[in-house]
Structure 1
Amino acid sequence: MNIKAVPVTEKWTEYTLTNEAGMAVSILDFGGIITKILVPDRDENLENVVLGYRNIRDYQQNPNYFGALIGRVAGRIQGASFELSGNTHVLESNEGANHLHSGSAGFHQALWQVAPFQTENSLGLTLSHKSPDGEGGYPGNVTVSVTYTLTNDNRLLIDYEASSDKTTPLALTNHSYFNLSGDLKSTVETQAAAIDSSQFVELDDQLIPTGNLIPVAETPFDFRAGRMLGEGFNEKFAQNKLAGGGYDHYFLFDNTREQKALLQDSASGRQMAVETDQPGMVMYTGNGLDDSLLLNEGKSRKYLGVCFETQGSPASLHHANMPDIVLQAGEVYKTQTVFAFSVMK
């Protein structure tokens, strides 16, 4: 096991965690961005399973949020505003009239303080950041830490902890795009996903949640028994069409399984299980990607990766039936998501 720190620009450092099995995770202090994850296939070939830029400086803009920590609030906020404790808070309109992934002042643009650590069976980084009252339009001085831990059994744990001196919305997530084919050999069309969810949140034509919960039964959104992602890469079903011929939807977990989601690639034999204490997740299948970006293994393209954005729902700021994201002043926000990699049996 080892931790390697390499300066990659005048201001940024990339840290690479390598466990005893050879799995490696590379993380930037800028944006807390996961740039690479190397995991073995069934023949023990180590290959990258996330989307990342070939030129490290391209993360400065990063319009697709590759690998980034998202906060204060991940997702879209309708009308770029919300009411809290009788006050209206106006945010940056950075996607039409709406607010996406906390705008230009989001955590994906922060330079985080990094503290490496190592134990007998794991190693990792604790990233720390302070967001001042009013930053991005959000109330409260927020202190946040995110800990990435890589274990020797190929589990990547992400622990989020935060507090605020004012009541404020908070919904943190990681925005990695996964592709288990290895080194982007194919799109995720033929990769199978299973999700512990019997309902998802309807979107309008601006991809804003309407507040309506739709049963997944007899739709391309029924992943309870597992299905190919490509079955929803079409414009035959209205909700897939709205999202650009794929998925960009919040799934509410049923909490009937420890694994809330599972991604499998039969060609490589890789699989990734998602465990979390969050109430749901947005699954996004890279519907907006085109061939304009140069990634580590070649040009980007539509459906090249899938995001599992475990989080509460920002729609709760406008719809009472969504999982709440309001953190009370003085309380501690604490949550964990685990990405567990293994080989299919």
Structure 2
Amino acid sequence: MEISKVPFGTYKGEPVTKYILTNDNGVQAGILDFAGLLQSFKVPTKDGGKADMILTSENLDNFTNNGFCTNRLIGRVAGRIADGKFSINGKDYQIEQNEGKNALHGGTNGFYSHIWHVDSTEATADSVSITLSLTLSPEVDTYPGKMHITATYTLNNDDYLSLKISATTDADTLFNPTNHTYWNMAAANVPTIDQLKLYVNSENHLAVDDGKIPTGEKVANEGTPFDFGTPTRLGDALEKMSSTKENGFDDIWEVTPSLTKPVATLEDPESGRKMSLYSDRNGLVMYTMNSDDAAVYNHGQVHPHLGLAMEAQNLSDAPHHPEFGDITLHPGEEKTYTIKWHVEY
């Protein structure tokens, strides 16, 4: 087990550092102190090299010069909040509306816009980890309460990378974080995620309005392009979505939370590389990068469906749908959520 660090450019004049966690099998996770960003997740290849399981770049500007939150930590609240409004214990709050009339991904000064403090790194016989922290106040991100957040990435010799995100607050607030990594473990000469096979442990997805805000209705996946109950070629599902406004997925699946049984798996039949995702929450937002924005990068290509964001979180807009689960955080309590990824190669 090993941890090392290297400079990784600057953000708003401040230096950014990359921390490289390496296990005894040669699996590597690169973590930036900027946005707690998962910059790389490399596995050994059969020819003795290494392949990245995720979309990546060695240039920090490629991560910061687009609106796709690429590979960053997201919070205080992942996903959308209708009209940027919510109530806790009868008190109404208005937060920044940064996507039309709605609030998205914690706002422009959320988790993804800051260089985090590195609290510690640790290497043991079986694992290596890094713990980062951030403190946000209403003056910074418009959410109520001064929130202190810690995020710990741990890579072990069983090829699991885990992320534990914890928070405390001095006033009632909301907490529903995620990691916004884009996955594509295919070879560099494969331009899209079409050949990948996706499985999701889900029976329903959420109906949404034109602003991608849940209506409250749960729609059965069976018989729709949203059905990944058995491993399904993404290209086949995306073809069925080609006539939609998005030309792909930007949607919310209700999943069965589990840290022992995969919530979802994504695999490349050609290379044999596979990622299994575990989460202790009931939502999985998936976005198939439905854009030809030149700011989106991978292997020098610019076209839709380069990668798949798999955002494990609580079901979106929960403050307006209590049946989706409670994402409030109160003074005197600490909440911790866990996301795990297991890689096979």
Taking structure 2 as the reference length, the TM-score comes to 0.92
Q: Pairwise mapping of residues 50-129 of structure 1 onto structure 2 (< 5 A)?
A: 50-114=54-118, 115-129=120-134
- Any conservation in 2 of the 1:54–1:295 contact (CA below 8 Å)? no
Which stretch has the larger CA shift, 143-152 or 183-192? 183-192
Residue number in structure 2 paired with 1:285:
288
For 2:97 and 2:240, locate their aligned partners in 1 and report how far apart those are by CA, in whole Å: 28
- Any conservation in 2 of the 1:232–1:247 contact (CA below 8 Å)? no
Runs of 4+ in 1 over 6 A off after TM superposition: none
1:138 to 138, 143, 150: 143
- Any conservation in 2 of the 1:41–1:269 contact (CA below 8 Å)? no
Segments of structure 1 that go 5 or more residues without pairing to the other structure are none
- Any conservation in 2 of the 1:40–1:270 contact (CA below 8 Å)? no
1:271 to 271, 274, 278: 274
Determine whether 1:192 maps to 2:189.
no
SS in 2 for 1:38: strand
Q: What is the deviation of 1:270?
A: 0.4
Q: Pairwise mapping of residues 181-330 of structure 1 onto structure 2 (< 5 A)?
A: 181-183=186-188, 185-234=190-239, 241-242=244-245, 244-255=246-257, 258-287=261-290, 289-293=291-295, 295=297, 297-330=299-332
Determine whether 1:155 maps to 2:157.
no
For 1:50 and 1:196, locate their aligned partners in 2 and report how far apart those are by CA, in whole Å: 22
Which stretch has the larger CA shift, 189-198 or 125-134? 125-134
Q: What is the deviation of 1:255?
A: 4.9
For 2:331 and 2:205, locate their aligned partners in 1 and report how far apart those are by CA, in whole Å: 30
For 1:224 and 1:235, locate their aligned partners in 2 and report how far apart those are by CA, in whole Å: 16
- Any conservation in 2 of the 1:91–1:99 contact (CA below 8 Å)? yes
Q: Tell me: CA distance 1:204–1:122, structure 2 relative to 1, closer, same or farther (3 Å).
A: same
Identity of aligned residues (%): 33
Q: What is the deviation of 1:91?
A: 1.8
State the one-letter code of the partner of 2:125.
E
State the one-letter code of the partner of 2:24.
E
- Any conservation in 2 of the 1:76–1:314 contact (CA below 8 Å)? yes
Which stretch has the larger CA shift, 177-186 or 11-20? 177-186
Taking structure 1 as the reference length, the TM-score comes to 0.92
- Any conservation in 2 of the 1:134–1:140 contact (CA below 8 Å)? no
Show CA shifts across 1:121-146 (max 9, x none). 11121011111245322111111110
1:47 to 39, 44, 51: 51
Residue number in structure 1 paired with 2:23:
19
SS in 2 for 1:57: helix
SS in 1 for 2:339: strand
SS in 2 for 1:188: coil
Q: What is the deviation of 1:299?
A: 2.8
Which stretch has the larger CA shift, 251-260 or 275-284? 251-260
For 1:3 and 1:296, locate their aligned partners in 2 and report how far apart those are by CA, in whole Å: 26
1:29 to 29, 33, 39: 33
For 1:148 and 1:184, locate their aligned partners in 2 and report how far apart those are by CA, in whole Å: 30
- Any conservation in 1 of the 2:267–2:273 contact (CA below 8 Å)? yes
Which stretch has the larger CA shift, 289-298 or 8-17? 289-298
Q: What is the deviation of 1:89?
A: 1.8
Q: What is the deviation of 1:54?
A: 4.2
Superposed CA RMSD in Å reads: 2.0
State the one-letter code of the partner of 2:277.
V
State the one-letter code of the partner of 2:313.
Q
- Any conservation in 2 of the 1:252–1:281 contact (CA below 8 Å)? yes
- Any conservation in 1 of the 2:206–2:253 contact (CA below 8 Å)? yes
Residue number in structure 1 paired with 2:169:
164
Q: What is the deviation of 1:224?
A: 1.2
Q: What is the deviation of 1:35?
A: 1.2
Q: What is the deviation of 1:214?
A: 0.4
- Any conservation in 2 of the 1:314–1:325 contact (CA below 8 Å)? no
For 2:62 and 2:128, locate their aligned partners in 1 and report how far apart those are by CA, in whole Å: 28
Show CA shifts across 1:284-305 (max 9, x none). 1111x31503636313421111
